[in-house]
Amino acid sequence: MPSTSLSDHVESLLARELPLPIVAAGDPVLRRPAEPVDGQLSDELLGRLVEAMRVTMHKAPGVGLAAPQIGVPLRLAVIEDAANVPEEVRTARGRVPQPFRVLVNPSYEDAGGSQVAFYEGCLSVPGYQAVVARHERVRLRALDERGRAVDEEVVGWPARIVQHETDHLNGTLYLDRAELRSLSHTLTQQAVERWAQPTPRLAARELGFTLPGTD
């Protein structure tokens, strides 16, 4: 049965004009493990929530959004990436277009391969980027919005998005995994030039940190 209190909270949230406000770092909802989706919302309400998340993600803009980022403590995320980046960046990062998809109760595990490090940002930590080392290849398990099982290997930048959004559902922010010496404000031209590079090698050299697989 749907949870009345959670249903009421979501109904109240969806009564607002879109896009929905994004919760910023420091709010406890981002630091608590989210509840598994298990019938708390009706199918109709869940569908409306997913659509609101899609609109909010696009407007931000971002390539992923987890439900806690709009104040809903459910294990639910949406992702989509047009990968509109230079070919050099696409090749170095394994960044390929990802269609819109919904991940319900996702989890991931290392599927073998190396750790790779690139700059990341987060809609809940606006104005900053930092280098994060993550699994290059993960096994994703989830349900889609129709309740169908998802069990697949994800590689490259899509694997990074999956890890980032699933971490949100576990109360983890990307800064918890980041190389803090790399933390850079996006209004600084030098910082923009660093994180726009295909790899963070320049940043590692200039800011004095070590990348995975290097001395």
Q: Which residues, 6 or more positions from 123, have their beta carbon under 8 angstroms from its beta carbon?
A: 22, 60, 62, 65, 69
The answer to whether 120 is a known catalytic residue is: no
- How far CA 6 is from CA of 3, 12, 72, 80, in Å, comes to 5, 10, 8, 26
Q: Which amino acid would we find at residue 153? A: E
**Long-range Cβ contact pairs of 180-188 (< 8 A, separation 24 or more):** 180/130, 181/207, 181/208, 181/209, 182/119, 182/129, 182/130, 182/131, 182/207, 182/209, 183/128, 183/129, 183/130, 184/119, 184/128, 184/129, 184/130, 185/127, 185/128, 186/121, 186/127, 186/128, 186/129, 187/127
Which residue of the set 17, 165, 179, 206 is catalytic? 165
Q: ∠ CA 182-187-191 to the nearest 5 degrees?
A: 35
Decide: helix, strand or coil at residue 89.
helix
Which residues form the catalytic set?
165
